[in-house]
Amino acid sequence: MKRKWKVFLLLLALLALTAGACSRSASLAEGQNAPIEVAQVEVPLDDVVRPDADSKAAAQSVNIEPVEVVRSEPEPAVARTPAPDPKQAPKKDGEEEEDLKRDYSEFFKDPKKLGFSPGEHLFRNVYYHIKTSFVEEVEDKVLFEGVKAEVANLLEQAKVPTDGLKKLDSSKKVLPQLLSLYGDKVDKNLLVYSAILGMLQGLDDNYSVLMTPNDYGKLQEQMQAKEFGGIGIYIELDRENGNQLTVFEPIEGTPAYNAGLEAGDKILKIDGEDTKGITLDMAQAAIRGPEGSKVVLTIQRESGQKNFSIERGRIHVVSVSGKMLPNNIGYIRLRLFGQETSDELEQAMDKLRDQGARALILDLRNNGGGYIDASVGVVGNFIENDGLVVYTVDRNERRREYRSPTLGTAKLPMIVLINKFSASASEITAGALRDHKVATLVGEHSFGKGSVQQLYPFPDGSALKLTIAKFYTPGGNIIDKKGIEPDFKLEMEPRFVGRGEKDTQLKKAVEILESKLTSHASL
């Protein structure tokens, strides 16, 4: 039952992707090379490659989503093709829901006039990119079986006999066969998108997906660090407590932080509405609002319940924050690797230098990733000019290197903190700094997300995200599905990050650096 609902809801969401796909087929078929990447809710994100003005592809990666900032699943690095048609008007709130009610049969009325339907064009484009760009060569029969399995699931839900699937000929184009067999028995668009979903599931790769306009829009918002009206908290659904909506972390200096919200606070109600069964999207919509308006959160702590009436403000989610710890140990927290991360890191480093920092802690915990080039920029602060930061290998064993664009000037004893939610660009950064012998790693085994995705946008705002390569640390260590082992392993609940005495990993990092500073001073 759970799988049926999952597929049914996904197929409904994909209905909104049909319009506009037709006009994009030529440019998609030409295929540009700029990787980017994407993510969804539950853990950290991951790495993305995006194009810059002068090169075909620049590397990048992704991470936590400001939901009021939602934690997201680590995702693969991705590449991006040309931007969607600017003439295509963006959807307004509520339009996507209306799209689900449309009759899409009009797209199939006149095949001679339209050629292929938008859905068929999308199917062909997905197939084309899988066959030419997926990180591993895939036989048609594998995709064929994936299509059959997913279409069978759709037919079962629609209570349509599946016997006709036995007639499918794997040596012929599968979509025309499906439309001929079932086009008059189930919605044609559901049939087409079910076939697309089946192809992607046949890849057995969680990071190769067709993103809805809503999902792709959220990724862009997260990576571009846009401002919004809200209170400034990261939230999550605590799986160990019945998916209870929980404050993962308040952002320092925001209304939520100033009001006294704490990591681990359970949000029982939002403006009097029970949060039981709420999704992260629903919670985000309820908590955000116009600057100056108020939201009341009913919070459960060990000490009891308490209502917090918080005035919303303008929230700008910076990716970097820094402060000075005792004994002149500088501390910098990277929450994600976004477009402004490199510049923000340089500013934070300058401030710590001015304050006399003698050592540095770089905190990558709970950081799901982001742009690869942001990771390259971060590492560039600490290694030699043109030093290797990371390299990728594609299906044809072609190697692409990403090197430091600058000469690192930060020559301080350094600890990098990682945990099980440090993914993608975080792992690139941690791995590179250790391989170059400029940092010691403290914390937990990292997530293990080491793949690169190419992102192919469509005019309607949707996008295909496809894994095109694996990445390796400078020392040749593969990260994907293996992660990075810290030099000093110390397990800790992720919600204790930044919580004073409960943050035992940070305390350990400070102890190690104090010992190094003491030994250097005695020489």
Residue ranges matching CATH 2.30.42.10 in the chain: 228-315
Segment holding 516, helix H or strand E: helix 504-522
Of the residues 47, 435, 460, 503, only one is catalytic, namely 435
pLDDT at 71: 40
**CATH of 228-315 given 3.40.1190.20, 1.10.760.10, 1.10.3470.10, 2.30.42.10:** 2.30.42.10
Relative orientation angle of helices 188-201 and 140-157, to the nearest 10 degrees: 140
pLDDT tens digits, the chain, 523 residues: what are they? 444 434 433 433 333 333 333 322 222 222 222 222 222 222 233 344 443 322 222 222 222 223 333 343 443 343 333 333 333 333 433 333 333 333 323 333 333 333 346 777 888 888 999 999 999 999 999 999 999 999 999 999 899 999 989 888 887 888 889 988 998 899 888 898 899 899 999 999 988 988 877 778 777 766 665 678 999 998 888 877 888 999 988 888 899 999 999 988 999 999 999 999 898 878 988 999 999 999 999 999 989 999 999 999 998 877 899 999 999 999 999 998 988 899 999 999 999 999 999 999 999 998 988 888 899 999 999 999 899 999 999 999 999 999 998 877 778 999 999 999 899 999 999 999 999 999 999 999 999 999 988 888 876 677 899 999 999 999 999 999 999 999 999 999 887 888 788 899 999 999 999 999 987 653 3
pLDDT at 152: 93
Q: Do you know the residue count of the chain? A: 523
For 437-455, what is each residue's pLDDT tens digit? 999 999 999 999 999 888 8
Of the residues 133, 208, 342, 424, only one is catalytic, namely 424
Separation CA 44–CA 3 (nearest Å): 24
CA distances from 499 to 249, 256, 418, 505, 509 (A): 9, 15, 16, 11, 15
First to last CA, the chain: 68
Taking a C-beta distance cutoff of 8 angstroms, is the pair 415, 382 a contact? no
Q: Name which of 216, 204, 195 is nearest 81 in CA terms.
A: 216
Taking a C-beta distance cutoff of 8 angstroms, is the pair 478, 472 a contact? yes
For 168-213, what is each residue's pLDDT tens digit? 888 788 888 998 899 889 988 889 889 989 999 999 998 898 887 7
Q: Class for domain 320-522, per CATH? A: alpha beta
SS3 173: coil
pLDDT at 462: 74
pLDDT at 187: 87
Compute the C-alpha angle 482/485/488, nearest 5°: 170
Of the residues 188, 269, 449, 465, only one is catalytic, namely 449
Cα 513–chain centre separation: 32
Separation CA 373–CA 380 (nearest Å): 10
pLDDT at 226: 63
pTM for this predicted structure: 0.68
pLDDT at 224: 66
Q: Residue 410 half-sphere exposure, CB side, CA atoms within 13 Å?
A: 32
Q: Where are the alpha helices (DSSP H) in 80-165?
A: 95-99, 111-114, 118-133, 140-157
DSSP β-bridge partners for residue 62: 370
Residue ranges matching CATH 3.90.226.10 in the chain: 320-522
Provide the sign of the torsion angle of the four alpha carbons 206, 207, 212, 216, taken in this order: positive
Q: Enter the tokens of residue 96.
A: 């996507």
Q: Enter the tokens of residue 335.
A: 């929450």
Helices then strands, counting H and E runs in the chain, come out as 15, 21
**Catalytic site includes residue 303:** no
pLDDT at 500: 84
Q: Name which of 146, 53, 7 is nearest 373 in CA terms.
A: 53
Provide the sign of the torsion angle of the four alpha carbons 342, 401, 200, 44, taken in this order: negative
pLDDT at 223: 64
Taking a C-beta distance cutoff of 8 angstroms, is the pair 452, 460 a contact? no
pLDDT at 231: 96
**Catalytic site includes residue 435:** yes
Q: Enter the tokens of residue 423.
A: 């993914």
